[in-house]
A and B are shown apart, each in its own frame.
Chain A
Amino acid sequence: GAGVSQSPSNKVTEKGKDVELRCDPISGHTALYWYRQRLGQGLEFLIYFQGNSAPDKSGLPSDRFSAERTGESVSTLTIQRTQQEDSAVYLCASSSRSGTGYTFGSGTRLTVV
């Protein structure tokens, strides 16, 4: 597609429920990143996928967080047993191998009540 698409744009969930966030990168972009942005704060790296290589999961804050990506297509970020501190905007970005700057989606605003 023309840009990075994320869905849903907003998600309100009850504490303890699982949520799944989706990212559809720009076609042909081999790299995909997930970031978290808490209210009024900067971006916190979560996970990075590059083609079929093993993902860099070093930013995942706990084992309740996981992400998958098949090849160079859609990625899903799953948060299990959500907690209130998980409330944030989750941003996805993709880039080409040349690293000409990456393009962010508009994010999923997650609210855990």
Chain B
Amino acid sequence: AQKVTQAQTEISVVEKEDVTLDCVYETRDTTYYLFWYKQPPSGELVFLIRRNSFDEQNEISGRYSWNFQKSTSSFNFTITASQVVDSAVYFCALGNFNKFYFGSGTKLNVKP
């Protein structure tokens, strides 16, 4: 079965704090993709990153970084020096070309 678990329903931090959003997945596929999407209050889903199952290199993009660990089936997302504009719901997703399974999302509140 394919499943994505985002155990943190809501996180509140103060601006400039670092925050990590957890994502744990289950799949029997050997080839799969993992994604993170951001959904700001406007509602539109914004693509952040895609990672395939053969690429376990961590990635850093500005204040964002992702830690993919196949051994623990986790794909965690860290925001460094958070800003108020980072406030949104963040979704982790798992899939291939056919169907993507989304976690229930983590709502991040960044307070000034």
Contact = CB atoms under 8 A, between A and B. Distances in A.
Given A31-B97, A56-B98, A103 B47 contact: yes
B103 A42 contact: yes
A99 B47 contact: no
Contacts of A101: 35, 47, 49-50
B64 interface: no
A91 B61 CA distance: 27
Interface in B30-50: 33, 35, 37, 43-45, 47, 49-50
Interface residues of B, number: 21
A50 B100 CA distance: 14
Contact of B47 (A41, A50, A58, A102): A102
A43 interface: yes
A91 B45 contact: yes
Interface residues of A, number: 25
> Most chain-B Cβ atoms within 10 A of its Cβ — which of A43, A99, A103?
A43
Contacts of B45: 91, 93, 104
B28 interface: no
B105 A48 contact: no
B91 A50 contact: no
Contacts, number: 51
Interface string A54-66: 0010110000000
> Most chain-B Cβ atoms within 10 A of its Cβ — which of A45, A102, A106?
A102
B104 to A, nearest CB: 4
Contact of A41 (B37, B44, B93, B104): B104
B58 to A, nearest CB: 18
Given A106-B43, A107-B43, A45 B33 contact: no
A48 B33 contact: no
Interface in A61-108: 89, 91, 93, 95, 97, 99-104, 106-107
A74 B9 CA distance: 35
Given A42-B105, A102-B100, 4 more contacts: A58-B99, A101-B50, A103-B47, A104-B37
